[in-house]
Structure 1
Amino acid sequence: MRMNIACLITNTAVLKVVRAAFMQTGAECTHFTSEVVLFRALLRQKFDLILIDLDLEPTPDDAIVSWLNCRSGNDTPVLTMSPMRDAHMTALVLNAGADDLLVRPFEPVELLARAHALVRRSNPRSARRRIELAGFSLDRESSKFAYLGTPIMLTSREFGLAWMLFSSPGVYISRETIGTSIWSSDSEVAGRTIEQHVYKLRKKLQLGVERGVSIRTAYGQGYRLELLGQKAADVPE
Structure 2
Amino acid sequence: MTSRGRVLLVEDDRALVELLTYHLEREEFEVETTPDGEEALMMVRERVPDLVLLDWMVEGISGIELCRRLRRLPEAANVPIIMLTARGEEADRIRGLETGADDYVTKPFSPRELLARVGAVLRRVRPALAGEQLSYADIEMDIVAHKVKRGGETVPLGPTEFRLLKHFLEHPGRVFSRERLLDNVWGHDSDIELRTVDVHIRRLRKAINDGGRTDIIRTVRSAGYALDAEGAA
Query: How high is the TM-score relative to the length of structure 1?
Result: 0.48
Query: How high is the TM-score relative to the length of structure 2?
Result: 0.48
**Structure with bigger RCO (C-alpha 8 Å, 6+ apart):** 1
